[in-house]
Amino acid sequence: MNHFLDIHKTDPDALRSILSSAQSMKEARQGRSKGARDDEQPLAGRMVALIFEKPSTRTRVSFDVGVRQMGGETLVLTGSEMQLGHGETIADTARVLSRYVDMIMIRTFDEEALLELAEHATVPVINGLTNQSHPCQIMADILTFEEHRGPIAGRKVVWCGDGNNVFTSFAHAAGQLGFDLTFSGPPPLDPDPSALEFARAKGARVEIVRDPLAAVEGADLVVTDTWVSMHDSQTTRERRHNQLRPYQVNERLMVHAKDDALFMHCLPAHRGEEATNAVMDGPHSVIFDEAENRLHAQKAIMRWCLAV
């Protein structure tokens, strides 16, 4: 049994195996649309619980569709239905769910809830997102980059904006997969230092460059994310906009990256804020390939967890 809790907790060879499997499954589905056969149903007879303490579009749809494409069934549970840790303990919830289902994906706030669930579950647990990290998204991002530009090892990835949970998983991936990573954002929104330390300890070149134009010089990939959360107050939103406005990904910024640099955003986006329409819909953008690849990457993660 394998849990998929974080990129830095997963062996680099396993990460490579997952990415290879994801690419193979994607190619098989594309082939099927042209008349080729794709009858493999590795999750036939399996039930997967999808727990959403945080609302979701891409995570919910991609996991649900992925399980169904592989012959399994899903049980979707929301925070209001579960009240995880309120009343029944997380440990007891994990033990009970393990008697009913073959795998658990959870999208939650506190990483401790994820870790406690995994500690007491007797079935694989997948991190669908926490406030600390978002490993499934980064697996999809790596898959997308390598589809378009080949191996990511040795390439330069630049993050513009908030050093949030998605950036943390990028830092973990830099250490595990051997690419360079530059963060460009305001000091109050600097990333988790432990994530940077992990990547550097693994030999990755990780930098903080405050000037976004200087940061993206020679970039193979430029990435950003939304500046505000749905839970942020109006005061917080205004403060974050003021802090992050200089780090908007726009045409002027992309000119300083490599001519064939890619642009990614995990979505949903606030168009005209963290990135302009001209970039999001422009020749550098692969945001919809990136969104699709959540499906394929997560299918491969589920297969790895169950060893099927």
294 carries an active-site annotation: yes
Query: Exposed (0-12), middle (13-18) or buried (19+): which is 195, by Cβ within 10 Å?
Result: buried
The reply to whether omega before 187 is within 30° of 0 (cis) is: no
Of 137, 176, 248, 298, which residue is the catalytic one?
Answer: 137
Residue with tokens 């589905």: 29
Q: Which of 60, 107, 155, 240 is catalytic?
A: 107
Is 270 catalytic? The answer is no
CB count within 10 Å of CB 94 equals: 21
Active site residue 241: no
Q: Is 148 a catalytic site residue? A: no
Q: Which of 8, 58, 60, 134 is catalytic?
A: 134
**200 Cβ neighbours under 8 A, 6+ residues apart:** 175, 206
Distances (CA, A) of 235 to 190, 191, 239: 20, 22, 6
Is 134 an active-site residue?
yes
Asked if 140 contacts 25 with a C-beta cutoff of 8 angstroms, the reply is: no
Cross-strand bridge partners of residue 127: 106
Instruction: Specify whether 266 is catalytic.
Output: yes
First to last CA, the chain: 11
Catalytic residue among 225, 240, 284, 298: 225
Query: Helix (H, G, I), strand (E, B), or coil: what is residue 1?
Result: coil
- CA dist 150 and 148 (Å) reads 6
Which member of 8, 180, 220, 266 is catalytic? 266
User: What are the CA-CA distances from residue 231 to residues 109, 164, 228 (Å)?
Assistant: 12, 15, 8
Under 8 Å between Cβ of 191 and 166: no
Alpha carbon distance 144, 294 (integer Å) = 9
Task: Measure the CA–CA gap between 272 and 222, rounded to whole angstroms.
Answer: 16
Instruction: State the catalytic residue, choosing from 265, 294, 296, 303.
Output: 294
Q: Which residues are catalytic?
A: 107, 134, 137, 225, 266, 294
